[in-house]
Structure 1
């Protein structure tokens, strides 16, 4: 109770404290995916390309990753209540700017600032969350709750915002997020005492130089991964110079870390065999997790589901994530072998991708996707928390912060790489399959004539004149070809992802030493990154 009286007012019940923490954490996690909650609506509102909207999310992520090492210094210097108020006020101001602007360039700047400010709020919430869980395995439980919310963030944000996008302009989402901040923020400020949650340290010798090197490098990486396909990669000077900038900044950053007394990332972590294995699994998981976007595109592109019904269906995926996160937490607490946990998790993801391979059809009832979506969520939920715990536990305690910071970098990199692969695959494979399907069609083909007649009759039944229906029928045929090309691409991509899963499972089986790593995070805190 001592900690309770120090941090919160003595009359506050425990359930209200925990509810308040979750109320603050919920909009904080939602901020990440807010700019891509509905890409079509966002592109229409800003007059931008879909790639611009994707890039705005990576700009947010880059700021969050780059500022994480610096944020801990501010958190340990300023009283928690005042620090939270500063972060909250600035976050609301920046979000209000997002609400008012229609300029993509201004949106990029605002999203970068949101990423920086989100570090502070997340760090406070995590520390408070760990302090409220009094059991022996409080941190394992806290990690499971936090990373469960991380996995749910994208689908949950889209589900919550879909009705708003349907009825209002896209910028209303930013006003909504401001209102969402208010209940938890007001409660937290009223209930907390003025305390320092961590040991107070002087705010001196901040390594702003590393931040200035690191942040542009991450932004350039995001730029290349998002716009590379659009600009034909090395055929465009912008991509070439961006890659050159990444290499130069990366070299300078690494050299600086090697000779710095307080490095952003202690390079000693890369000497740990367990750490390298852990980030390999984390990288693979983010590539696999990114492929889920193909399924959501399938729902909208092929099955023609509107955003509201799409994300209502994805609610079953959220159920699966919760199940997987709870099961993973229990297995970790019971000290079950990590090999077993990971193999089960990846096997569930393999089942999902294999089943979707056969479910990618032009017509389907949405009920048949419920079980695969639950399975996918369960697999992802079972993997993320144990992998993160393994990464942090695989290095000495004095460099565990560097391990978590490096892990956030890996998540950023492979999150962006997954988007790049999907962008490339959708254009490359779809184009190939569309050409093959078109080559197989001949105007003398009786089947073709019959299909065109079917389209023409359908259009006439809706009131069009015969000549108009005849002109529009080829367009419907072309749309059908594009749908089939997308289905072929989706099957190809999921086949490749299934192979990747099998490779990762084989690596896990061939690496028995991972079971000798003891999960110990009692004094280690994760980097304050949300996805």
Structure 2
């Protein structure tokens, strides 16, 4: 017997909708590494920050692999079994991360957690989609879904930072495991065990593609994260070997996709202009989100702890909510995609410019509210408008094949690449600034000796050089942001039909346009349904 409902018939409809959101949020915002308390974690483990960053991105890689195989595995199992298994497995893996001292175990658990999360998410998100938008309108769904997830992520970061501050970082994982096990018990009690779709055997898994794709992503992760720690390519044989192995794995994967009867995902989607444009936009967004590393360098000089930084990030939530309202009104009025993206990256530019002028050894925490608010607004607008623009040109089956790459660009490659660039720039500019500042100083000077001697002078010079380096990088990022805005203004987001060209020409000449009808290419033509996202 088949049924589309997930819960028993005796569960009220209103409670079913509430339970769906209650169960989905821990899956969507839960993580193997909580960045808000990452400092406490790597200090407690006695390791480098790069190792935990590597584990954090590894979770995204696991999600990418899971999205590539979910349509082949999901029909074999009942929805209840998938959701319960996901919660229990994630709870056990969370306990493993919170109790181990070995980095390799944390990385492996992170990859597996990302892979399993996808299966639980798809079972819960698809029903939520039809609750939010019964007609299957993507725009109507995105303006609710993305602000909810982005805002909840900032709130979870604040809560985990406070929990780690008051107890320790291990308590965060213990609490997360308790919540996941509680969700599993809720599913066991309230969900039926019927089939929600026709049972189908597992088939079509291309293990060569899965292994080569996973290996290539992990190698790229290692290169981008450990570049500074390993001394870049000219000083590290490990990086050079990883780069060679990455090229080989990537080439083997691409060759396999071109020759396989059932590819892991079709490379033909990258011939679509909207897909390529979305990849570029999400990559550019990574440049602005990667400035968090620069802001962390500034707040470390200001001696802000993890809890204070998480409190600052709460200012993103009003911006995220405002972004959802703006997109809702924009889609309702069939506004221009170009204008929405221009506003989004203007917010990122405002964030960068504000932080540029805030560089100082002493900054009041209130001055971070406006740039953080602008960053949250920009993120919401890019997530919603960029995702809508990208998805509108693909069929549901093509979407599932394109999601691994887009999520990888948005949440992993874009941010990791620009973080590596900023890390290199911060090191170079800091060294140059220290040399320039040290040229006119003498540690034997009586004024220096009276104030602590050479070590105290070194600390002051190091602080000033870091501030100069951070300010220079924010300045270059602001200049790059202006170029991004120019790109958005000039890029042809939609096809220009001859009729539009004629109408514009007549308007410039002051001639009548009676009988001609301007067609919109930013509203109805890009409105698509998602009636079969999961199949």
Q: What band does the TM-score fall into relative to the shorter chain?
A: 0.7 to 0.9
Deviation, structure 1 residue 72: 2.7
Do the aligned partners of residues 261 and 75 (structure 1) sit closer, same or farther apart at CA in structure 2, a change above 3 Å counting?
same
Structure 2, unpaired ranges of 5+: 495-520
Maintained 8 Å contact 1:346/1:505: yes
Distance 1:445 1:13 in 2: 80
Partner of residue 371, structure 1: 370
Distance 1:378 1:111 in 2: 29
Partner of residue 243, structure 1: 243
Do the aligned partners of residues 157 and 478 (structure 1) sit closer, same or farther apart at CA in structure 2, a change above 3 Å counting?
farther
Maintained 8 Å contact 1:94/1:110: yes
State TM-score, norm by structure 1. 0.88
Structure 1, unpaired ranges of 5+: 457-469
Partner of residue 527, structure 2: 519
Q: 1:481 aligns with which of 457, 461, 478?
A: 461
Maintained 8 Å contact 2:213/2:249: yes
Deviation, structure 1 residue 66: 1.8
Partner of residue 201, structure 2: 202
Partner of residue 513, structure 2: none
Partner of residue 509, structure 2: none
Maintained 8 Å contact 1:8/1:193: yes
Do the aligned partners of residues 367 and 281 (structure 1) sit closer, same or farther apart at CA in structure 2, a change above 3 Å counting?
same
Deviations 1:10-69 (Å, cap 9, x if unpaired)? 443444333323322332233336343323211222221111111111222212212221
Q: How does 1:183-198 map to 2 (within 5 A)?
A: 183-197=182-196
Q: Does 1:121 align with 2:101?
A: no
Deviation, structure 1 residue 358: 0.6
Q: Which sits farther off after the overlay, 147-156 or 218-227? A: 147-156
Distance 1:113 1:60 in 2: 7
Q: How does 1:343-492 map to 2 (within 5 A)?
A: 343-411=342-410, 412-443=412-443, 449=447, 453=450, 456=451, 470=452, 474-492=454-472
Deviation, structure 1 residue 239: 0.9
Partner of residue 499, structure 1: 479
Distance 2:286 2:324 in 1: 16
Partner of residue 143, structure 1: 142
Distance 2:417 2:532 in 1: 29
Partner of residue 176, structure 1: 175
Distance 1:199 1:104 in 2: 41
Maintained 8 Å contact 1:332/1:386: no
Maintained 8 Å contact 1:164/1:173: yes
Maintained 8 Å contact 1:35/1:42: no
Do the aligned partners of residues 247 and 452 (structure 1) sit closer, same or farther apart at CA in structure 2, a change above 3 Å counting?
same
Distance 1:320 1:526 in 2: 31
Distance 2:69 2:311 in 1: 39
Distance 1:298 1:498 in 2: 17
Distance 1:508 1:518 in 2: 18
Deviations 1:257-306 (Å, cap 9, x if unpaired)? 1122222221111111221111111111122112133224422x122122
Partner of residue 227, structure 2: 228
Distance 2:376 2:329 in 1: 17
Do the aligned partners of residues 134 and 29 (structure 1) sit closer, same or farther apart at CA in structure 2, a change above 3 Å counting?
closer
Deviation, structure 1 residue 196: 4.4
Report the 3-state secondary structure (helix = DSSP H, G, I; strand = E; otherwise coil) of the residue aligned with 1:269.
helix
Do the aligned partners of residues 111 and 203 (structure 1) sit closer, same or farther apart at CA in structure 2, a change above 3 Å counting?
same
Distance 1:24 1:297 in 2: 36
Distance 2:302 2:161 in 1: 18
Do the aligned partners of residues 526 and 200 (structure 1) sit closer, same or farther apart at CA in structure 2, a change above 3 Å counting?
closer
Q: How does 1:304-323 map to 2 (within 5 A)?
A: 304-323=303-322
Distance 1:213 1:266 in 2: 15
Partner of residue 334, structure 2: 335
Q: How does 1:11-160 map to 2 (within 5 A)?
A: 11-32=10-31, 34-136=33-135, 139-152=138-151, 155-160=154-159
Do the aligned partners of residues 187 and 334 (structure 1) sit closer, same or farther apart at CA in structure 2, a change above 3 Å counting?
farther
Report the 3-state secondary structure (helix = DSSP H, G, I; strand = E; otherwise coil) of the residue aligned with 1:29.
helix
Partner of residue 268, structure 2: 268
Deviation, structure 1 residue 475: 3.5
Report the 3-state secondary structure (helix = DSSP H, G, I; strand = E; otherwise coil) of the residue aligned with 1:32.
coil
Deviations 1:334-392 (Å, cap 9, x if unpaired)? 42111111111111111111111111111121112212211111111111121012112
Distance 1:120 1:149 in 2: 20
Q: Which sits farther off after the overlay, 13-22 or 386-395? A: 13-22
Report the 3-state secondary structure (helix = DSSP H, G, I; strand = E; otherwise coil) of the residue aligned with 1:7.
coil
Deviation, structure 1 residue 476: 3.8
Distance 1:522 1:391 in 2: 13
State TM-score, norm by structure 2. 0.87
Deviations 1:237-256 (Å, cap 9, x if unpaired)? 21111111111111111111
Distance 1:155 1:483 in 2: 29
Deviation, structure 1 residue 474: 4.2
Distance 1:252 1:440 in 2: 56
Deviation, structure 1 residue 149: 4.5
Matched length: 504
Maintained 8 Å contact 1:404/1:526: no
